[in-house]
Amino acid sequence: MTSPLLFHPPETSSPRRRALLASLLAARRVDLLLLLVAIVWGSSYLAAKTLTDTLGVTVILSLRFLITTVALVVIWLVWNRHRATRREAMVGVILGLTQAAVLILETHGIAGTSATNAGLIISLVIVFTPVTESIAFRVRLPRTVFIAGVIAVVGVCLLVSGDGFATPTPGDLLMLAAALMRSIHVTAVSTLTRERGYSALTLTLIQSGLCALVYTLGDYKNVLQAVRGFDTGEWIGVLYLGLACSVFAFLVQTWAIQQTSASRASLLMGTEPIWAVLIGLTIGQETLTLLGVTGAALIITGTYLGLRAETRHRTPPTPHTDPPDTA
């Protein structure tokens, strides 16, 4: 008789277990990478805030996108080498201009408010975008999206109120304008590129190059002066914004969305404001009052509800099929 201690499961189950384990790890790998993108984007507000305390906004943006453009050129040469058509190049220029407007508003906003506020207010783009997209494509949205928008806006009012209701700071208002402008930019991307077969990498390269050109020409003297006087910490901050927050996040996002559903990717990357708050409160040693905490919770709740409602609205219902009659 074989001892129970010496009993081994049938060998046929091992490949199945390995395949199941491998599939679970692959699914979790995509989720973890998307969460990492959200964390990186959430940390970008504190990184930009730290740099804007000592450097000009245009200088930071110029160096960030010069680094991003150089890195994307290398990636394009190695992986892609897709040459843009004239129409594709024009679309890239248009999107580059809207992207440049978003970032100048956003970075000036970060300089005038806390990293925590900036990360939460910019998250309103997830609520604004369905509205701008519905206007562009003349599509009716479910009522829940608008309810979510009201919840999020109330949250912003509480967040910027501080110890009591007060006038928002210029930085808060600029972040609000940046969120609205980013929703317009995202809608423009969808409108101009949908079913066109354009290369995402090529379009991003054109946008980054245009942003680098605009920001550098806007303040080239201070850019040269800053490069000569940068210390190690400032170079680390600019490289982090250029390589991690731009190049890495873009590539991982593009790859990961191809491995999972858009709904799941959006929900995972929609955790960006949560990471912005956590990083701002811990590493940045910022504070939130009770009203601020309530506002932050409402912003996150409104954003999540709006995202879920918009995703459900776009997902076609699964047709119901009756089981075959075996009688």
Q: Is 289 exposed, middle or buried (0-12, 13-18, 19+ CB in 10 A)?
A: middle
Q: How sure is the predictor about 31, in pLDDT bands with cuts at 50, 70 and 90?
A: confident
Q: In whole numbers, what is the pLDDT of the chain averaged over residues?
A: 79
Nearest-CA neighbor of 247 among 65, 89, 95?
Answer: 65
**CA–CA distance, 70 with 68 (Å, rounded to integer):** 6
If one compares 6 and 175, the residue with the highest pLDDT of the two is: 175
Which pLDDT value is given to residue 313? 66
pLDDT tens for 254-308 read 677 666 655 566 667 767 777 887 888 888 887 777 877 888 788 788 777 876 7
If one compares 139 and 185, the residue with the highest pLDDT of the two is: 185
Mean pLDDT for 60-89 is: 89
pTM comes to: 0.73
The answer to whether 280 and 39 are in contact (CB under 8 A) is: no
The residues, any chain, with a CB within 8 Å of residue 177's CB and separated by 6 or more, are 105, 109
Own/partner pairs for 277-281, CB < 8 Å, 24+ apart? 277/42, 277/116, 277/119, 277/120, 278/42, 279/39, 279/42, 279/43, 279/45, 279/46, 279/115, 280/45, 280/46, 280/114, 280/115, 280/116, 280/119, 281/116
Which pLDDT value is given to residue 326? 44
pLDDT tens for 109-126 read 988 888 778 877 887 787
Task: Determine the distance from the C-alpha atom of residue 260 to the mean position of all C-alpha atoms in its chain, rounded to a whole number.
Answer: 17
Which pLDDT value is given to residue 224? 87
Q: Which of 31-35, 45-49, 84-88, 174-178 has the highest mean pLDDT?
A: 174-178
Q: Does the pLDDT value for residue 4 go beyond 60?
A: no
The answer to whether 302 and 152 are in contact (CB under 8 A) is: yes
Q: How sure is the predictor about 210, in pLDDT bands with cuts at 50, 70 and 90?
A: very high
If one compares 102 and 270, the residue with the highest pLDDT of the two is: 102
